[in-house]
């Protein structure tokens, strides 16, 4: 099949675009408002963009009910710091709860019953049990074309200023996927978990 992505004339029950770009890592992003209220939300439009300097990106698009800007981008305009916590199998239910459309006065760490720990260099907290957390400062925010629902479409580039790796997810000096068990977003309401049974080695040609 072929369809025009602007006309969206695919004729399918649900838009297949996100199901075509899989798997997508899920950055569980913690931010904090100017008033000190913490937000925690998962984003699968997330990835590393540079090994050196260490940089990541996350794209925040759409709106909350009532047309309100999403708390992640609103908070970053006030406090340009965030933490990328890696989503994993052990905390999948809490991650899912944290994407509920609650008001900006709600602390999602409390709402989703997620344990937190202070970061070293930025104000937002770390997710305890994430295995890996990246402390970041905003490098720049690029406003992309507006989302169809009228919401902001903000591409956030972050400088990684601190990296936390829990010793519990390491084996012989390497991050052990079998211990980390990261989850990824697929299409629709589907997810995947990465473990030893679906990992294989492949060396680049010399």
Confirm whether 202 is domain-assigned.
Answer: no
DSSP letter string over 87-108? PBGGGHHHHHHTTS---TTS-H
CATH value at residue 107:
2.30.110.10
Residue 189 has pLDDT above 90, yes or no: yes
Range of the domain at 192: 22-196
Q: Is residue 6 part of a domain?
A: no
Burial of 94 (0-12, 13-18, 19+ CB in 10 A): buried
Exposure letters 27-59 (e unless 16+ CB within 10 A, then b): bbbbbbbeeebbbbbbbbbbeeeeeeebebbbb
Count of domains forming the chain: 1
4 located within any domain: no
5 domain-assigned:
no
90 and 181 Cβ atoms separated by less than 8 Å: yes
> Would 155 be classed as within a structural domain?
yes
Q: What is the pLDDT of residues 120-175, one digit of tens each?
A: 999 999 999 999 999 999 999 999 998 776 788 999 999 999 999 999 999 999 99
> Is residue 166 one of the residues assigned to a domain?
yes
- Evaluate whether residue 13 is within a structural domain: no
User: Is residue 10 one of the residues assigned to a domain?
Assistant: no
């Amino acid at each position: 099949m072929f369809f025009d992505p602007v006309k969206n004339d695919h004729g399918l029950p649900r838009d297949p675009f996100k199901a075509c770009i899989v798997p997508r890592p899920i950055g569980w992003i913690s931010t904090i408002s100017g008033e000190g209220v913490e937000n925690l939300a998962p984003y699968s439009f997330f990835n590393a963009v540079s090994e050196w300097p260490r940089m990541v990106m996350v794209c925040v698009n759409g709106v909350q009910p009532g047309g309100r800007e999403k708390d992640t981008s609103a908070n970053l305009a006030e406090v340009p710091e965030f933490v990328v916590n890696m989503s994993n199998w052990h905390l999948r239910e809490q991650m899912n709860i944290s994407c509920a459309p609650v008001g900006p006065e709600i602390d999602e760490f409390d709402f989703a019953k997620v344990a937190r720990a202070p970061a070293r260099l930025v104000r937002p907290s770390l997710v305890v049990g994430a295995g890996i957390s990246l402390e970041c400062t905003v490098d720049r925010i690029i406003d992309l074309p507006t989302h169809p629902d009228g919401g902001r479409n903000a591409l956030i580039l972050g400088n990684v200023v601190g990296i936390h790796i829990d010793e519990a997810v390491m084996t012989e000096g390497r991050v052990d996927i079998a211990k980390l068990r990261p989850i990824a977003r697929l299409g629709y309401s589907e997810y995947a978990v990465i473990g030893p049974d679906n990992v294989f080695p492949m060396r680049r040609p010399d």
